[in-house]
């Protein structure tokens, strides 16, 4: 992991996502992670743990990480059919971040099938977000739309909306300056100096 990512609040929050794992070996004094509340974790135990911990134990070959439900075959098919109708936030608020993290650590053929679908969905939804940001929707409609978006999509929507607003303001100011310049030039006559009060 890059140092920059290590100190990133978004990365920290993304890696709090609970992931289903199966124990490949016994670990003493980790039983508190299991709902049963036993003292030790035993080989074969199935439990959920934060992604950051699952990554660490997976690298030590102590756990096997299951493909999350938000990457299931049925959801993947829905995403591939029409990604713009999916409420990604309800599935996973850090959907793209977790897809990236899992693709880096897991050696799964299933995951290799997921990445192209996720990439396609990202491109399609970015087009949708850009189109919506360029529209003149009411604040209430904007808020309803934002609630459908996962974390990074929400940030991009707000950024695009702000960028468009700044562009419109710049064009309006530039237009006013051009009009003022045109009026000023029309007042000037050859050989005479315009006197300003």
What are 141-152's pLDDT values in tens digits?
677 788 889 999
Domain of residue 84, residue span: 68-184
Does 122 lie in the same domain as 53?
no
Number of domains in the chain: 2
b/e sequence 144-179, b meaning 16+ C-beta within 10 Å: ebbebbbbbbbebbeebbeeeeeeeeeeeeeeeeee
Flag whether 191 is in a domain.
no
- Report the distance separating Cα 188 and Cα 184, nearest Å: 7
Does 117 lie in the same domain as 73?
yes
Does 114 lie in the same domain as 52?
no
**Sheet with strand 18-23: strands edge to edge:** 46-50, 18-23, 63-65
Flag whether 194 is in a domain.
no
- Positions in the chain short of pLDDT 70: 1-7, 34-37, 109-110, 136-141, 175-197
Q: How far is CA 20 from the centre of its chain?
A: 22
């Amino acid at each position: 992991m890059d140092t920059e990512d290590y100190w990133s609040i978004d990365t920290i929050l993304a890696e709090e996502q609970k992931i289903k794992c199966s124990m490949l070996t016994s670990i003493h004094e980790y039983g508190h992670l299991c709902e049963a509340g036993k003292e030790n974790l035993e080989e074969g135990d199935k439990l959920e743990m934060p992604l950051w911990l699952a990554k660490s134990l997976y690298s030590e070959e102590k756990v096997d990480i299951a493909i999350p439900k938000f990457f299931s075959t049925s959801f993947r098919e829905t995403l591939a059919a029409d990604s713009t109708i999916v409420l990604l936030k309800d599935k996973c608020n850090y959907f793209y971040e977790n897809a990236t993290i899992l693709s880096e650590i897991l050696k799964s053929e299933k995951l290799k099938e997921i990445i192209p679908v996720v990439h396609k969905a990202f491109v399609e939804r970015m087009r949708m977000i850009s189109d919506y940001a360029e529209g003149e929707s009411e604040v209430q409609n904007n808020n309803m739309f934002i609630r459908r978006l996962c974390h990074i999509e929400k940030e991009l929507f707000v950024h695009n909306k702000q960028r468009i607003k700044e562009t419109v303001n710049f064009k309006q100011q530039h237009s006013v300056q051009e009009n003022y310049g045109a009026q000023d030039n029309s007042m000037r006559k050859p050989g005479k100096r315009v006197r300003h009060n």
